[in-house]
A = this chain, B = another copy of it.
Amino acid sequence: MPPGTLTTPSQHVREKRRRRRAEILHAALRAFRDKGYHATTLEDIADQLGVRKAALYHYFPDKEALLYDCHAAGLAEVHRHVAEARTQVSARERLAFLIREHVRVMTETLAGSSLAFEVSALSPAHRAEVIDARDRYEHALRDVIAQGIAAGEFHDVDPKIPVFAILGAINWIARWYRPEGSFHAAELGQQFADQLVGGLARR
């Protein structure tokens, strides 16, 4: 076995734990989406995974911790995309990339869950953290539009308004999207990007 593929037992355990954690989060998201956060119990989530409730406590102390981790996973992704978008050559490409990727987070990572509407159930500390991460993401989107205006790529508008339109269109996906439906995430992301970025661009 070449040295680079050597896997110590603890790495193996860590990887298994990481995958299990992701499975639990995904089951939680589906349950929150289908029944609503308040009506969902830890038993529902354990049932979906075919395990006993006690098995979940190795990973999450309570339901709020699961909700927080769902938020944190989605927000970590969109913030990673903000960093990745810097390599795109124009503001127009950066914005289209961010919209496509955010649509993928809504449809895949968050499984079409309306998580974006559920901050009131978070603990005060977690709520403040989630709102802060959202605000920073909103500002990052405004910055991309402001850069596009400065570069002459976009019409001269108050960047707040197109960012509200973009976030509204994307967050609304939770209202109608079903993973088993006929729209694929990639197609949806591309169409949203074409519509929402194209309308800002100078001809």
Please list the residues of chain A having a beta carbon within 8 angstroms of any beta carbon in chain B: 155, 157-158, 161-162, 164-173, 175-176, 183, 188, 191-192, 194-201, 203
> Are B161 and A183 in contact, CB atoms less than 8 angstroms apart?
yes
B172 touches A164 (CB 8 A): yes
Q: How far is the CA of A191 from the CA of B200 in the complex (A)?
A: 9
3 pairs of A and B residues whose beta carbons are closest in the complex: A168-B172, A198-B199, A199-B199
Q: Give the contacting residue for A192; candidates B161, B191, B201; CB below 8 A.
A: B161
Residues of B within 8 A of A158 (CB): 183, 191
Shortest CB distance A87–B (Å):
24
- Chain B residues with CB under 8 A of A197: 199
A82 to chain B, nearest CB (A): 20
Dominant SS at the A interface?
Answer: helix
Not counting A161-B195, A164-B176, A195-B200, a sample of 12 additional A-B residue pairs whose C-beta atoms are within 8 angstroms of each other reads A158-B183, A158-B191, A161-B183, A162-B191, A167-B172, A168-B169, A168-B170, A168-B171, A194-B199, A196-B196, A196-B199, A203-B203
With a CB–CB cut-off of 8 A, which chain B residues contact A157? Answer: 191, 194
Shortest distance in angstroms between A37's beta carbon and chain B's nearest beta carbon?
Answer: 15
Given contacts A171-B172, A172-B171, A172-B172, contact A165 B196 (CB under 8 A): yes
List the B side residues contacting A166 at CB < 8 Å: 169
A-B contact pairs, 7 of them (CB 8 A): A161-B195, A164-B169, A164-B173, A168-B169, A172-B172, A195-B196, A198-B199
Q: Given A157-B191, A198-B200, A200-B195, check contact A169 B173 (CB 8 Å).
A: no
**Min CB–CB distance A129 → chain B (angstroms):** 20
**Cβ of A191: which chain B residues have Cβ within 8 Å of it?**
157-158, 161-162, 165
On whether A175 and B168 interact (CB within 8 A), knowing A161-B191, A198-B198, A199-B197, the answer reads yes
Chain B residues with CB under 8 Å of A161's CB are: 183, 188, 191-192, 195
